[in-house]
């Protein structure tokens, strides 16, 4: 293997192994920032050694061994592990290394729990949402600051600053590397689920830029969601979220035209939907519903997407069931966006006039004033009712609000279509 090929192999292995490595080291050193530095040290050691020695049979264990040795060295300088290993303070230098290493081995046994703890830390509510997203993608997704910046169309310096501040905040607040207590577990889990869902949504429907989709982000979110569901098998909303993401991801290939234009759900070629992802999503939904009688927000949204997935044609979609599910979701999560989606579902079940009446009742909602999907939904219903001038105006208003180039072009095309039909 050439040096260049070995270098690529090292980077690929580190991308795969870094979440487990950082999680294990965080459990040892109790500081996520220091743990990431130790992991980077292990990466540099691999880049120096593997081109000559070759990629080891168990690269993850090799990286962890290097990371642990670095942790021992830091311990000897008295910068960490002081409280945990006070009994070692009186031991000689000759016995200190083996004793500390034995303690580190015991501290790094349960990789699964370590990953879950790392998720709870990276998504801690003490951090701002943007910081949680960036830190999660950095620590658990293995993405560089440059890759995260490119995905979210923000400067790399901004992302790097968010990550640095997040790690500093966690250290200053002395956030413990442990499972949340029962009293706060639900809130902390909600924070993790929210971050994963935000990452998925940005990939599934980009808020800005020239592309409708960003597949890399959805893949990262799916991987994180699958890990979370495996590590927390009794948490219904973890399964509800993965069900929602799997079913939505099944439509990826049909969501854009060959030229990159967005294709509405009811206009998509259903033969291109990924049946394997649908099957996995439906199985996860069944699992979520079996764990709790009262469905949570992600399980309800997954149930809505499942109604579309089960319909062989748009005409077979059970919109009455979807409207009822949105009503149930609104009772649980009474937000203007849920109310908007409920109105659209009602329009499909009972006609555009019924849906428009519900949308018109939301016109004073502050949260919807800059939300481009609100005027877009009104425009669609107005067009169906033959109110073409009003529809054109709303399509143009929606186009002015969105920051996504493809969406803007599509909305302006529909506005122009209303103008031509109205002349």
* Co-location of 159 and 97 in the same domain: no
Domain that includes residue 204, residue range: 111-175+184-212
* Co-location of 45 and 125 in the same domain: no
Q: Does 392 reside within a domain?
A: no
* Co-location of 76 and 63 in the same domain: yes
* Co-location of 78 and 148 in the same domain: no
Residue with tokens 């640095």: 164
Residue 118's Cβ-count burial label (10 Å; 0-12, 13-18, 19+) is buried
* Co-location of 67 and 82 in the same domain: yes
Q: Does 163 reside within a domain?
A: yes
Instruction: Specify the CATH number for the domain of residue 148.
Output: 1.10.10.10
Phi, psi of 123 (to 5 degrees): -105, 25
Q: Does 235 reside within a domain?
A: no
CA Rg, the chain, in Å? Answer: 25
Q: Does 120 reside within a domain?
A: yes
Positive or negative CA dihedral for 269, 274, 275, 281?
Answer: negative
- Using CA atoms, how far residue 301 sits from 197, 244, 254, 328, 383, in Å, is 12, 6, 20, 10, 27
End residue of a domain, out of 109, 140, 157: 109
Q: Does 300 reside within a domain?
A: no
Q: Does 146 reside within a domain?
A: yes
Q: Does 32 reside within a domain?
A: yes
Q: How many CB atoms lie within 10 A of CB 417?
A: 15
State how many domains the chain has.
2
With DSSP H G I counted as helix, E B as strand and the rest as coil, what are the percentages for the chain, rounded to 5? 75, 0, 25
Please report, in tens digits, the pLDDT of each residue of the chain (423 residues total). Answer: 576 777 777 777 787 788 888 888 888 888 888 888 888 888 888 888 888 888 888 888 888 888 888 887 766 665 444 555 454 444 434 444 454 455 445 444 455 678 888 888 888 989 998 999 999 888 888 888 888 887 776 889 999 999 999 999 998 988 888 888 777 888 888 889 989 988 888 777 755 555 656 777 888 889 889 988 988 899 999 999 999 999 999 998 898 888 878 888 989 999 999 999 999 999 999 999 999 889 999 999 999 999 999 999 999 999 999 999 999 999 999 999 999 999 999 999 999 999 999 999 999 999 898 899 999 999 999 999 999 999 999 999 999 999 888 889 999 999 999 999 977
Q: Does 170 reside within a domain?
A: yes
* Co-location of 12 and 46 in the same domain: yes
* Co-location of 150 and 102 in the same domain: no
- Cβ–Cβ under 8 Å, residues 60 and 207: no
- Cβ–Cβ under 8 Å, residues 36 and 167: yes
Q: Write the DSSP symbol of residue 47.
A: H
End residue of a domain, out of 196, 212, 228: 212
* Co-location of 131 and 197 in the same domain: yes
Interacting residues of 165 by C-beta distance below 8 A, sequence separation 6+: 131
């Amino acid at each position: 293997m050439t040096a260049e090929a070995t270098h690529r192999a090292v980077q690929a292995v580190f991308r795969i192994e870094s979440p487990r490595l950082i999680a294990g080291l965080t459990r040892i050193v109790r500081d996520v920032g220091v743990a990431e530095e130790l992991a980077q040290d292990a990466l540099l050691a691999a880049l120096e050694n593997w081109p000559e020695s070759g990629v080891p049979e168990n690269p993850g264990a090799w990286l962890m061994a290097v990371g642990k040795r670095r942790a021992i060295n830091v311990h000897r300088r008295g910068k960490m592990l002081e409280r945990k290993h006070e009994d070692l303070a009186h031991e000689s230098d000759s016995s200190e290394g083996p004793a500390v290493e034995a303690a580190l081995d015991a501290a790094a046994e349960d990789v699964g729990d370590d990953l879950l703890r790392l998720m709870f830390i990276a998504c801690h509510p003490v951090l701002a949402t943007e910081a949680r997203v960036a830190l999660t993608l950095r620590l658990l997704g293995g993405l560089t600051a440059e890759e995260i910046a490119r995905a979210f169309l923000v400067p790399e310096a901004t992302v790097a600053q968010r990550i640095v501040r997040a790690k500093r905040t966690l250290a200053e607040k002395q956030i413990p590397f442990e499972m949340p207590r029962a009293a706060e577990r639900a809130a902390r889990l909600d924070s993790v689920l929210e971050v994963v869902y935000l990452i998925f949504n940005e990939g599934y429907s980009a808020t800005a830029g020239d592309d409708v989709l960003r597949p890399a982000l959805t893949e990262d979110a799916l991987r994180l969601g699958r890990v979370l569901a495996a590590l927390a098998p009794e948490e219904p909303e973890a399964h509800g979220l993965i069900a929602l993401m799997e079913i939505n991801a099944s439509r990826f290939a049909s969501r854009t035209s060959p030229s990159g234009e967005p294709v509405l759900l009811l206009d998509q070629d259903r033969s291109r939907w990924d049946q394997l992802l649908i099957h996995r999503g439906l199985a996860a939904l069944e699992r979520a519903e079996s764990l709790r009688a009262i469905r949570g927000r992600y399980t309800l949204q997954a149930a809505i997407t499942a109604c579309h997935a089960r319909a062989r044609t748009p005409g077979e979609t059970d919109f009455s069931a979807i409207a009822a599910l949105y009503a149930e979701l609104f009772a649980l999560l009474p937000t203007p966006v849920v109310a908007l989606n409920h109105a659209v579902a009602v329009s499909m079940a009972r006609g555009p006039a019924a849906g428009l009446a519900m949308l018109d009742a939301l016109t004073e909602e502050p949260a919807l004033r800059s939300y481009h999907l609100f005027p877009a939904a009104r425009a669609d219903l107005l067009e169906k009712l033959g109110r073409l001038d009003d529809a054109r105006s709303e399509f143009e208003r929606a186009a002015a609000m969105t920051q996504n180039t493809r969406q803007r072009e599509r909305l302006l095309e529909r506005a122009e279509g209303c103008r031509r039909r109205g002349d």
